[in-house]
Amino acid sequence: MIRMERLRKHYKDLQALRDVSLHVGEGELFAYLGPNGSGKTTTIKILTGLARPTAGDAYLHGFHIERDSLQAKRQCGLVPQTINLDHELTVLENLEIHGRLFHMPRQERSSRIDELLEYIEIADRRNTPVKQLSGGLKRRVMVARAMMHSPRILFLDEPTVGLDPTIRRRIWSLVKKIQQSGSTIFLTTHYIEEAEFLADRVAFLDEGRIVAVDAPQNLMARLGSWALDRIVDGEMQTQYFSSRESANVQIDHQLGSFSVRRVNLEDVFLSVTGKKVLP
């Protein structure tokens, strides 16, 4: 559904993307992870037509993003990091404008709005000005707006940034619900647990290059199942073990502060880049 072939993007002396090649299958929920400045948002801007690549090719449902730009854009919806709804308008009016931009007939717009407001569980707020909504509700409206024209692909760029854990998990439920309806989802996030819970596969991006791609469980299994963190000379050191028993044996020889936990995706990223995913 999404295909990138040796995609590059340069900003003067900055190489934001360096020969990125990646395929995302139909119906897949794919997480694109990396620290700030790694090229995640640049990739989404290129795929959604908001920026042009310096070199390389990309396709959305078989349509080339530059040669078939209009058809490619019709395949996707975008939920950006920044809340960019019109705050003076109501929820209904925000969705109505988006439908008109995609030349949806009046009856189709009306029925689609009704369907989406029920889908994201805010039908009772249809006539509420956006400025009166909480951050979590605004995020849900942005998801509904992106889905208004029934895109095959949904791009979510940090969709839960700044939300508290309870609201974030409600957004997770909505994202899984969207995937189960048949949509392909391309997600960027700084929340490791978000990718672990949601994604079928993940890619780690570092300084514009993809350094690892696989299912979350496969990537973590390469390190082990358990991690032993300890402070040595003021620095955090981590050892990985295939079983809790193996970690416990090592604990008997430790002094000072330490903890044992499950391996996570941040461990994988640290192991291949020496950096943290979180900014």
- For the stretch 57-92, pLDDT in tens is 999 999 999 999 999 999 999 999 899 999 999 999
The pairing of strands 55-60 and 29-33 is unpaired
| Domain match, 141 and 251 both | no
| Domain match, 256 and 183 both | no
Last residue of a domain, one of 165, 191, 218: 218
CA separation for the pair 209, 219 (Å, rounded) = 17
| Domain match, 168 and 58 both | yes
CA separation for the pair 8, 6 (Å, rounded) = 6
What confidence score (pLDDT) does residue 276 get? 63
274 falls within a domain: no
Write down the residue that tokens 């990309």 correspond to: 58
**Lookup: tokens for 56:** 């390389």
Q: What strands, in cross-sheet order, belong to the sheet with 2-11?
A: 14-24, 2-11, 55-60, 63-64
What confidence score (pLDDT) does residue 163 get? 87
DSSP 12: T
Tens digits of per-residue pLDDT, 190-217? 888 899 999 999 999 999 999 999 999 9
Domain residues for 174? 2-218
43 falls within a domain: yes
272 falls within a domain: no
| Cβ proximity of 126 and 51 under 8 Å | no
255 falls within a domain: yes
| Domain match, 81 and 159 both | yes
**Lookup: tokens for 188:** 């960027």
**Lookup: tokens for 209:** 């290059």
pLDDT over 70 for what percent of the chain? 96
Tens digits of per-residue pLDDT, 136-169? 999 999 999 999 999 999 999 999 988 888 888 9
| Domain match, 139 and 153 both | yes
268 falls within a domain: no
267 falls within a domain: no
Number of domains making up the chain: 2
196 φ, ψ to 5°? -60, -40
CA separation for the pair 252, 263 (Å, rounded) = 20
Report the SS3 class of residue 178.
Answer: helix
CA separation for the pair 74, 71 (Å, rounded) = 5
Q: Which H helix or E strand runs over 203? A: strand 201-206
Return the CATH number at 178. Answer: 3.40.50.300
| Domain match, 237 and 111 both | no
What confidence score (pLDDT) does residue 274 get? 76
**Lookup: tokens for 31:** 């997480």
The pairing of strands 2-11 and 55-60 is antiparallel
- Read off the pLDDT band of 255 (50, 70, 90): low
Residue count of the chain, please give it: 279
| Domain match, 241 and 134 both | no
How many other C-beta atoms can be found within 10 angstroms of the C-beta atom of residue 272? 14
- Read off the pLDDT band of 279 (50, 70, 90): very low
